[in-house]
Structure 1
Amino acid sequence: MSTRILPAVGDADAARSITTLLSQLPDAEPAGPLGDSTTLLDTLARLAAESLDELPEVVLVHERIGPVPALELIREVALRFPAVGVVLVTADVGPGLYSAAMDSGARGLVGLPLSYEELAQRVQAAAGWSVGVRRHLGAGADVFTGPSGTVVTVSGAKGGVGATVTAVQLALAAKASGHTVALVDLDLQSGDVASYLDVQFRRSIVDLSTIQDISPRVLQDALYNHDSGIGLLLAPGEGERAEEVSDRVVRQTVSALRHRFEIVIIDCGTHMNTANAAAIEMADRTLLVTTPDVVTVRAAKRMVRLWDRLQIRKAEETITVVNRHTRNTEIQPPLIERITATKVARIVIPANFKELQAVVDAGRMQDLEAKSTVKQALWGLAGDLGLVKQAAGADKQGKFKGDRGSIGGRRGRSK
């Protein structure tokens, strides 16, 4: 039986060297090298969606892969695709890195410069381990191996534009349709998810900051089980503790949440830091909430440019949600789309704060009436994003699935 090998190598010279050696291995079926972590994860997710048998037995991860660091990438592959054997290719083969790689889920290390004998030995060992795991899974083991949950981040162009209300209602809509849902508050200094959902809490994401391996079981201890059925991972009550939450913590947390929940909604607030930057980079869909006024649209444009400079999200991969929309405003969605160079959501959220005031003041966003035009728009947006399970016979292709350019069409009306 041939061994399928998928290399992820960001360095062109290393890619050529690895490709040459892999082609010489007996019974090897190497694929072309992938140049970044995002492409690797997307490729594995696509293959896993077809069948466990479609996944490669071995993935090679080069130490200079990006944008996700190599060890974090290995950890995510191990969590999401546990039947794949991962081998790290690195110039540092010391005991410190070896231990860290094993803790992340690697099945071996190959030193640079590459040698045929060592590469063959590590690939063979990882492949043998992978085959054994698949045989075990085939016997009915209860291990997650399929496509991971969908992660959606919600950010505000500036303060007060309605990002938290949007995140909360998207989560409620997804849960009401039958999905398992987590809602994460990464507005670490001033998060209000708990206030909007009438929650008194002791634990927060800060409790995960000192844990080296955030597994789903460990994650459960930090989650608050809301009456709505949503799992809440809340921001710390003390804003000064925000700096304890690193990008490493966020990456491991998001990976663990993907493992457990079908839908993960993350409120990233309006201020950028390494923690919410990591979440935006890992997200399947990124929403940017703006209101149709000059100051906020300019802020949205600055935010999109910042994400592009940080190489965490391209403008064309960002979905802008227009909140507090009225027909009479001079700034309409098509103009916002041109200014920000993003895709503007088909459904706009009407300007009708009177509908929200009572539930906001009571801290009971879950009690917003079904007839509310704001709720109808936000739940319609959830459907367009593919976060709502469709009824039998309904169109199952959310407006944002597949081609991200298919967001056009008739825009929602404001009331």
Structure 2
Amino acid sequence: MTTRILPAVGDADAARSLAGLLGQLPDSEPSPPAGDSTALIATLARLASESLDELPEVVLVHEHIGPVPALELIREVALRFPAVGVVLVTADTGTGLYSAAMDSGARGLIGLPLSYEELAQRVQAAAAWASGVRRHLGRGADAPTGPGGTVVAVAGAKGGVGTTVAAVQLALAARASGRTVALVDLDLQAGDVASYLDVQFRRSVVDLAGIQDISPRVLQDVVFVHETGLGLLLAPADGERGEEVTDRAVRQILGALRHRYEVVVVDCGTHMTNANAVAVETADTALLLTTPDVVAVRAAKRTVRLWDRLQIRKAEETVTVVNRHTRSTEIQPQLVEKITRTRTARSVVPAAFKELAAAVDAGRMQDLDAKSAVKQALWALAAEVGMVETPDVPGRRGRQRGDRGPAGPRRQRGR
């Protein structure tokens, strides 16, 4: 049996050295190396979306891979692609790192400088483990066979552009279509998801921040099941505790949620932190809310440039949503697209303040009238980006899940 191997190596010299040895392994099929963590995850997600059998048996992660640290990357690969054997390549072969690598989900460790014998042994062991897992998964109808659920990050260009309203309605739309949905409030200092859905719950995302292994039972204890069926992971009541939620914690939390829910909607708020930057980076779809005014559009442009500079997300991988749109405004979606250099969603959200007032004041966004133009537009947006097959709202016909069009979620990212 041929063993497919995907190395993740950022350094060109290290990549050549590793490729030379991999080419000597019998019955092996090494792939071109992924140059960074983003490219690795994107490649695995693309392959997993086709079939479990398309995934490589072995992934080799070099210690100097970036921008995500090697151990965090191993943890994410192990969580999202459990049928892949991950091996760490490192100069530190001490027991401390070995233990940390195993805790992160690695199946072995290869010391530097590389030796053929050790490489062959570790690759063979990881491949045998991966093959055993795949045989096991093949017998279980409910076992995860791909990258898990879809993550949709919703961010605002500035305060007051309707980020939380959009996130809540998108989650409700996905839930109404029959999917299991989690709504995560990562606006850690000023999150309002609980207020919009009339929820009083003492647990929050902070309760998961310090947990190394988030099991289904742990998630069940922290996630609040709303009357609509949404699973809510709320922001902390005390905003200062948001600092406890690190980027590493968010990666682990979103990875765990992916395997429990078909759709994970993340309200990222309007202020960029390490925590919500991870959500934007790892999301299958990133939506940036703006209103059609000069200040908001300029803020959207700044946000897109910030994401690009920090290698969080490219402009072409972002979908900008125009909220409170009117036909009479001078700033139309085409101009927003030109200024931000993003893709603009075809589903624009109309300015209809009176429709929202009663539901917002009562804290019951789930009771927003089905005839509301705002609700219809946001549920149509959910269909446009592939969150639902058709929006379950009178008067609007959605697109089929496979017909995502230019504003649908990207399937592969790389740098």
The TM-score normalised by the length of structure 1 is: 0.94
Distance 1:72 1:187, change over 3 A: same
Q: What corresponds to 1:395 in structure 2?
A: 400
Q: What corresponds to 1:94 in structure 2?
A: 94
Is the Cα–Cα contact under 8 Å of residues 48 and 146 in structure 1 kept in the other structure?
Answer: yes
Aligned residue identity for 2:234: L
- Map Cα deviations across residues 97-133 of structure 1 (whole Å, 9 max, x no partner): 1111100100001111111111111111111111222
Moved more, 41-50 or 183-192: 41-50
Q: What corresponds to 2:159 in structure 1?
A: 159
Q: What corresponds to 2:274 in structure 1?
A: 274
Q: CA deviation at 1:149?
A: 0.9
CA distance in structure 2 between the aligned counterparts of 1:21 and 1:256, rounded to whole angstroms? 35
- Map Cα deviations across residues 340-399 of structure 1 (whole Å, 9 max, x no partner): 111111111100110000000000000000100000100011110111124999633123
- Map Cα deviations across residues 135-182 of structure 1 (whole Å, 9 max, x no partner): 222333753222421111111111111000000000000000111111
Aligned residue identity for 1:241: R
Q: What corresponds to 1:66 in structure 2?
A: 66
Is the Cα–Cα contact under 8 Å of residues 80 and 145 in structure 1 kept in the other structure?
Answer: no
Q: For 1:152-301, list aligned pairs within 5 A.
A: 152-301=152-301
Aligned residue identity for 1:77: V
Is the Cα–Cα contact under 8 Å of residues 209 and 245 in structure 2 kept in the other structure?
Answer: yes
CA distance in structure 2 between the aligned counterparts of 1:70 and 1:228, rounded to whole angstroms? 39
Indicate yes or no: 2:50 matched with 1:50: yes
Does the residue aligned with 1:61 lie in a helix, a strand or coil? strand
Aligned residue identity for 2:295: V
Distance 1:85 1:53, change over 3 A: same
Q: What corresponds to 1:330 in structure 2?
A: 330
Q: For 1:375-394, list aligned pairs within 5 A.
A: 375-390=375-390
Q: What corresponds to 1:371 in structure 2?
A: 371
CA distance in structure 2 between the aligned counterparts of 1:207 and 1:395, rounded to whole angstroms? 38
- Map Cα deviations across residues 296-336 of structure 1 (whole Å, 9 max, x no partner): 11111111111111110111111111111111111111111
Distance 1:277 1:394, change over 3 A: closer
Does the residue aligned with 1:145 lie in a helix, a strand or coil? coil
Cα root mean square deviation, aligned: 1.7
Is the Cα–Cα contact under 8 Å of residues 284 and 410 in structure 2 kept in the other structure?
Answer: no
Q: What corresponds to 1:412 in structure 2?
A: none
Is the Cα–Cα contact under 8 Å of residues 5 and 29 in structure 2 kept in the other structure?
Answer: yes
Does the residue aligned with 2:259 lie in a helix, a strand or coil? helix
CA distance in structure 1 between the aligned counterparts of 2:409 and 2:312, rounded to whole angstroms? 20
CA distance in structure 2 between the aligned counterparts of 1:375 and 1:234, rounded to whole angstroms? 22
Q: What corresponds to 2:24 in structure 1?
A: 24
Q: What corresponds to 2:15 in structure 1?
A: 15
Unaligned runs of 5+ in 1: 405-415
CA distance in structure 1 between the aligned counterparts of 2:138 and 2:348, rounded to whole angstroms? 46
Is the Cα–Cα contact under 8 Å of residues 178 and 389 in structure 1 kept in the other structure?
Answer: no
Q: What corresponds to 1:317 in structure 2?
A: 317
Aligned residues: 404
Q: What corresponds to 1:411 in structure 2?
A: none
The TM-score normalised by the length of structure 2 is: 0.94
CA distance in structure 1 between the aligned counterparts of 2:71 and 2:410, rounded to whole angstroms? 30
Percent identity over paired residues: 76
Is the Cα–Cα contact under 8 Å of residues 286 and 317 in structure 2 kept in the other structure?
Answer: yes
CA distance in structure 1 between the aligned counterparts of 2:400 and 2:237, rounded to whole angstroms? 42
Does the residue aligned with 1:160 lie in a helix, a strand or coil? coil
Is the Cα–Cα contact under 8 Å of residues 187 and 269 in structure 1 kept in the other structure?
Answer: yes
Q: CA deviation at 1:46?
A: 2.6
